[in-house]
């Protein structure tokens, strides 16, 4: 059980580090060279609209998917199986948020528009809110495990 929780934490913090490194690289690249592509205003606004829609739709979609998967964890399963099921849905949730954040960083590199940094910041906060701890994982599994009712 502790091994699976440790794996979840390692993956979470690895993705966190990758996002920070990419942000630093993007910032210094833009500072040194400017935008990577010279796009018109309408192209930048279209990209901004697409990234905003993806981001604002991706956050609730990742939470919805995760909560649906956790609700399907059965109470009679052993704890290790529950944690493995949780791990799969949790990783899909944080990878979805991380991928959208990376799209924000890449869009910033392409256009040098600070709006994409704000989008990244929103996604970064959503990512950090999901910081895994042993207690939070166990509480979420136990809270979403359906209780057995005796209807006699």
Q: Which domain holds residue 73?
A: 2-144
φ, ψ of residue 148 in degrees (nearest 5): -80, 130
At 74-114, the pLDDT tens digits run: 888 888 888 888 899 999 999 999 999 999 999 999 999 99
The domain tally of the chain equals 1
pTM: 0.83
Three-state DSSP at 74 gives coil
**Angle subtended at Cα 62 by Cα 148 and Cα 122, rounded to the nearest 5 degrees:** 130
How far is the C-alpha of 52 from the C-alpha of 44, rounded, in Å? 12
Question: How sure is the predictor about 144, in pLDDT bands with cuts at 50, 70 and 90?
Answer: low
User: Is 64 among the domain residues?
Assistant: yes
User: Is 150 among the domain residues?
Assistant: no
Q: In 3D, which of 120, 139, 109, 100 has the Cα closest to residue 20?
A: 120
Range scoring the smallest mean pLDDT among 27-41, 93-107, 136-150: 136-150
User: Is 152 among the domain residues?
Assistant: no
């Amino acid at each position: 059980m502790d091994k699976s929780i440790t794996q979840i934490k390692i993956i979470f913090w690895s993705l966190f580090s990758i996002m920070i490194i990419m942000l630093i690289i993007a910032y210094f690249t833009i500072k040194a060279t400017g935008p990577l592509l010279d796009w018109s205003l309408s192209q930048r606004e279209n990209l901004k609209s697409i990234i905003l829609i993806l981001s604002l739709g991706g956050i609730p979609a990742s939470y919805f998917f995760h909560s649906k998967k956790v609700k399907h964890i059965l109470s009679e399963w052993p704890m290790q199986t529950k944690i493995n099921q949780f791990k799969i849905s949790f990783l899909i949730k944080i990878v979805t948020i991380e991928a959208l954040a990376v799209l924000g960083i890449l869009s910033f590199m392409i256009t040098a528009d600070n709006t994409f940094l704000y989008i990244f910041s929103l996604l970064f906060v959503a990512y950090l809110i999901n910081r895994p701890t042993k207690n939070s994982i166990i509480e979420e599994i136990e809270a979403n495990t359906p209780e057995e009712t005796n209807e006699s």
